[in-house]
Structure 1
Amino acid sequence: MDITIAYQRALQKYHLKYLALYHALREGILNGSFASGTRLPSTRDLAVMYGISRGSVKEAYDMLLAEGYIDSAVGRGTFVMEQTAVLPDKSLIKQQNQNSPVVKQKAPALSAWGQRIMQIERERNLQPSPASATNRDSAQQPLISFQAGEVVLEGSSQIAWKSAMTAAGKDLQKPSADATTAPVSGDEWLREAICHHVGRTRGITATPDQVVLCSGSMEVITLLSQLLIHEQDRIVLENPCYSGIYRAVTASGGQIHAAEMDQHGIVPQDWDSKLLFVTPGRQFPTGAVLPLTRRQHILQWAASKGAWIIEDDYDSEFRWAGRPIEPLKALDRTECVIYVGSFSKSMFSSLRLGFAILPVELAQALTAAKRLYDPLPPARLEQRALARFMMRGDYVRHVRRMTRIYRSRYDVFQRGIQQLSELFHWHQNDCGLHAYAIWKQESAQYHHLMQTAQFYGVTWRDAADYQLTPGPPSACFIFAHLTEQQIVEGFNRLRQAWDHIKNQ
């Protein structure tokens, strides 16, 4: 099974591998990340996952067994014993903090805009960003778009989702389900399910009152920008980065500082800033995975500056090899990291549900800001259905199924990439639903190819939209929504478009 525990954080404290593994597993059991009856990996599998010896794993398991945290039997496996805590208990967290004193981040210093929201919660209108259009010539063949497309549920996932929707509808028809009293922060069941899921898969300890649900991750990012950014504040963004983040920061009065990047992601520096937006699990758009040492440097910077880090973990569910490095939120000891996630990619495109995990004080401010836009929680039916979908284990099964499907499409995509090696330098990665490439030929030829490819019926995203400063032409190819046959045909058309240009 796939599990994530705070092993690296424990290793920093306890130094010995077996002792760090024992404490990381014990913490996961006590805070409810591993529910009673959860089957733990074998000593061999866990040793491979964390690069330690089977002897160290066995010693950690023996300690947990002796203290009654787990039960083990030959031929049956190792299981978590019943514990009293189901979700993180505040008294337990307080006791752990007393044993390991840390300096907590102070209450959020809201912007003037955020303070006005907290006082009178007055309305404010935002101008929507214009949608990008694709200008295509009137080609006869159907368009193959590597830009974006609708991802839908299929097979057993669709059946399970329909069942969850039906049950959710019955829940919300009960007399006690009064919409006017529903929490603006989101469905209670779903916030609890999210806590359990991120604890199990991402090593993040959270309670439901730290979770706020919004209509997609961009609503979370926009509201947080308005709450935390003062006029003329210097805000650190990755370069390149998602254009929506740039617009949200600029609209809130922030001054952009474009951070240096290399093949491993953002390069930590002593930035003169109080806020950093970062995508460490898989940098957008390059796909770079931030190494553990850099994650630690970023956390040290935030602690020294009293800064906030907004961690956008936008498509961490899908990996083709290896295990994910613990997110910044799992390594955070000063509560300076705000973790942002979404279900739009892991479920289906029209399910506009995002969430933030953040300190309780800031969660209250975010909820107050959200109330301006949604006085009543939106998508209550979908929220309750997703809660049931997750609690029944259907979500985990769905992600595993889609990982197999997307992996097959990714393999076909990789073979197609080889046809264009003379044109693009591709950034290799082992996760995510898109690929990033830098153009190797002359700049004018890149734009010529984009126009010619449209005539042949194939398009992709121009990554110049994500660059904060001028850079070489680059491209993003999104493949998850396409069939294997469409991916092959798309690369064939790209090759035809390039051959047409060369023969002119």
Structure 2
Amino acid sequence: MDITVAYQRAIQKYHHKYLALYHALRDGILNGSLAGGTRLPSSRDLAVMYGISRGSVAEAYDMLLAEGYVESTVGRGTFVIEQAAMLSDPFPIGQQNQNPPVAKQKAPALSAWGQRIMQLEKERELLSSPAFAADRDDTQQSLISFQAGEVVLEGSSQLAWKSAMAAAGKDLQKPSSDSATVSVNGDEWLREAICHHVGRTRGIAAHPDQVVLCSGSMEVITLLCQLLIDEQDHIILENPCYSGIHRAVTASGGQIQAAELDQQGIIPQDWDSRLLFVTPGRQFPTGAVLPLARRQQILQWAVSRSAWIIEDDYDSEFRWAGRPIEPLKALDRADCVIYVGSFSKSMFSSLRLGFAILPAALAQALTAAKRLYDPLPPARLEQRALARFMMRGDYARHLRRMTRIYRSRYDVFQREMQQLSELFYWQQSDCGLHAYAIWKHEHAPYHHLLRTAHDYGVTWRDAADYQLAPGPPAACFNFAHLTEQQIIEGAKRLRQAWDSIKHQYHAV
């Protein structure tokens, strides 16, 4: 049987063929185009239809089966379950509502939380639509973007991941497996693997019951904000900081108090607050590493204020030199630190898995909140596959391999960007996947360069997006997703863009 799903659209977003096919089939089931009871083609027929391997089709089918969208019977085939099709269409085909349309009523008022969400969404849309973007003709040359890009698995890591996915699919189909009892916290194997990993690489002693898995670190942070923030609470955020944290705190009704930074990171104070967000391993976005003495001061502050600290360890897996200082969580003796991590940067971008390591009482509260959103854990297949990937040592090998690759790209980036030393003060760093630079001159030439560089086919992230209050112009350059040749070409275009406008700024 032939079927048509939005595979080509999905492959542009997810890149991995099995993920694209899974999402295309899943969307077809949920929007009703693949009705309940529909028999799906055999893996051989579907592979021929879309020009992919039978293995990719089998992986997509395994994911649909594990998540309850289809059922499979030996000798009969794979069928869309009736319940999945009904979710998307309250009126089955042939029984559509025949009542004439009625006049629309005024939409009911949103809650205070809802109104804040909509205001934040408007602000996000404005930031994502720079005025100069409409003036550029993208057909002139390919754009080299130093903004965050797609991270994908390659080479031996990709082969090991496919093997782990296949084995995970078999695990979850075994009637006697532990998949029959599913924890809202996430896959037990993966939580154990995370405890082992952070114990070995971060010095954090944790039990699997303290680990809660979510769909990315932002889901963790958003749920924690809802659990820990009351209306008008004063919440301490680093300035600058990741904009997602700012939005989550604001949506929850918190009043943000910006904490000052210097070259060593956040400057400890006796803040009047019960909650601090901090990135001590590598401050986002500046890259500053918080020294041990300041980490101890922050922990002492938390004890004196009976406060929580949310430690976001977002990309310290990749280190070029030196040894990292212990995370706050490893130094914590009062059980006041919540450690948040993610696999989206260390594995691949479309793997939306984040986790928190929490004190036992708070782990129960986060589990209860998560149960409200996700009664069953999402991405069960990927969770079990990642557990196997880590327990077999493939994750450690993957990190070593990617560290070598990213270090080489960072060296090229540093070398090429030295040509622009008259424009930026570069924040030195021995780890991470982006570089932070402070503009040396006035605002006007910086913003002129932003627009002109886009015309030359190169972009970067304006660090103003992360500032809680107006500050000096600064830039974030992500390099890990680019090849060495792209980095060289991007630096060349940036130099050309500056050369084309610098005569207008005689004082520079």
**What's the TM-score once normalised by structure 2's chain length?**
0.73
**How far off is 1:372 after superposition?**
2.1
Measure the CA separation in 2 of the matches of 1:395 and 1:330: 22
Matched, 1:439 2:439: yes
Deviation by residue 1:425-446 (Cα, 9 ceiling, x = unmatched)? 1111111000111111220111
Measure the CA separation in 2 of the matches of 1:133 and 1:392: 44
Measure the CA separation in 1 of the matches of 2:448 and 2:372: 46
8 A contact 1:237–1:257 mirrored in 2: yes
What SS is found at the alignment partner of 2:236? Answer: strand
Letter in 2 for 1:313: D
Structure 2 match to 1:283: 283
Structure 2 match to 1:160: 160
Measure the CA separation in 2 of the matches of 1:275 and 1:496: 46
Matched, 1:385 2:385: yes
Structure 2 match to 1:303: 303
**How far off is 1:502 after superposition?**
2.2
Measure the CA separation in 1 of the matches of 2:299 and 2:343: 26
Measure the CA separation in 2 of the matches of 1:263 and 1:369: 37
Matched, 1:227 2:227: yes
Measure the CA separation in 1 of the matches of 2:367 and 2:451: 45
Write the mapping of 1:17-416 to structure 2, written as runs, cut at 5 A. 129=121, 130=124, 132-133=128-129, 135=133, 137-139=136-138, 140-176=140-176, 181-416=181-416
Deviation by residue 1:300-320 (Cα, 9 ceiling, x = unmatched)? 110111100000000110111
Measure the CA separation in 1 of the matches of 2:246 and 2:239: 10
**How far off is 1:230 after superposition?**
1.0
Measure the CA separation in 2 of the matches of 1:437 and 1:142: 24
Measure the CA separation in 2 of the matches of 1:374 and 1:365: 14
Matched, 1:478 2:465: no
Structure 2 match to 1:497: 497
What SS is found at the alignment partner of 1:330? Answer: helix
Change (3 A) 1:133 1:482: farther
Letter in 1 for 2:224: L
What SS is found at the alignment partner of 2:232? Answer: coil
**How far off is 1:360 after superposition?**
1.4
**How far off is 1:159 after superposition?**
0.6
Deviation by residue 1:349-372 (Cα, 9 ceiling, x = unmatched)? 111100000011111111111122
Matched, 1:425 2:420: no
Measure the CA separation in 1 of the matches of 2:148 and 2:345: 11
**How far off is 1:133 after superposition?**
4.2
| Of 292-301 and 172-181, the range deviating more from structure 2 | 172-181
8 A contact 1:437–1:474 mirrored in 2: yes
8 A contact 1:180–1:376 mirrored in 2: no
8 A contact 1:179–1:376 mirrored in 2: no
Measure the CA separation in 1 of the matches of 2:325 and 2:350: 29
Deviation by residue 1:289-345 (Cα, 9 ceiling, x = unmatched)? 000000000001101111000000001101110000000000000100000000000
Measure the CA separation in 1 of the matches of 2:256 and 2:177: 44
Matched, 1:448 2:448: yes
Structure 2 match to 1:459: 459
Measure the CA separation in 1 of the matches of 2:345 and 2:184: 23
RMSD, aligned α-carbons: 1.5
Structure 2 match to 1:84: none
Letter in 2 for 1:361: A
What SS is found at the alignment partner of 1:349? Answer: coil
Measure the CA separation in 2 of the matches of 1:143 and 1:179: 45
**How far off is 1:233 after superposition?**
0.7
Structure 1 match to 2:44: none
**How far off is 1:176 after superposition?**
3.6
Deviation by residue 1:100-147 (Cα, 9 ceiling, x = unmatched)? xxxxxxxxxxxxxxxxxxxxxxxx976684462462601411000000
Measure the CA separation in 2 of the matches of 1:180 and 1:138: 54
What SS is found at the alignment partner of 1:320? Answer: coil
What SS is found at the alignment partner of 1:311? Answer: strand
Measure the CA separation in 2 of the matches of 1:204 and 1:440: 40
What SS is found at the alignment partner of 2:186? Answer: coil
**How far off is 1:175 after superposition?**
1.4
Unaligned runs of at least 5 residues, structure 2: 1-112
What SS is found at the alignment partner of 2:142? Answer: coil
What SS is found at the alignment partner of 1:397? Answer: helix
Measure the CA separation in 2 of the matches of 1:154 and 1:244: 29
**How far off is 1:503 after superposition?**
4.4
- Structure with the larger RCO, 1 or 2 (CA within 8 Å, 6+ apart): 1
Letter in 2 for 1:375: P
8 A contact 1:338–1:358 mirrored in 2: yes
**What's the TM-score once normalised by structure 1's chain length?**
0.74
What SS is found at the alignment partner of 2:158? Answer: helix
**How far off is 1:201 after superposition?**
0.5
Measure the CA separation in 1 of the matches of 2:378 and 2:217: 14
Measure the CA separation in 1 of the matches of 2:258 and 2:429: 23
**How far off is 1:178 after superposition?**
8.0
Give the paired residue count. Answer: 381
Letter in 1 for 2:229: I
Letter in 1 for 2:357: I
Deviation by residue 1:232-259 (Cα, 9 ceiling, x = unmatched)? 1111110000011111111111111101
**How far off is 1:182 after superposition?**
1.1
Larger radius of gyration: 2
Measure the CA separation in 1 of the matches of 2:369 and 2:179: 19
Deviation by residue 1:368-388 (Cα, 9 ceiling, x = unmatched)? 111222121100000000000
Identity rate of aligned residues, in percent? 82
Measure the CA separation in 2 of the matches of 1:243 and 1:342: 17
Measure the CA separation in 2 of the matches of 1:306 and 1:141: 56
**How far off is 1:180 after superposition?**
7.3
What SS is found at the alignment partner of 2:389? Answer: helix
Measure the CA separation in 2 of the matches of 1:502 and 1:269: 42
Deviation by residue 1:175-194 (Cα, 9 ceiling, x = unmatched)? 14586741111000000000
What SS is found at the alignment partner of 1:272? Answer: coil
Unaligned runs of at least 5 residues, structure 1: 1-123
What SS is found at the alignment partner of 1:406? Answer: helix
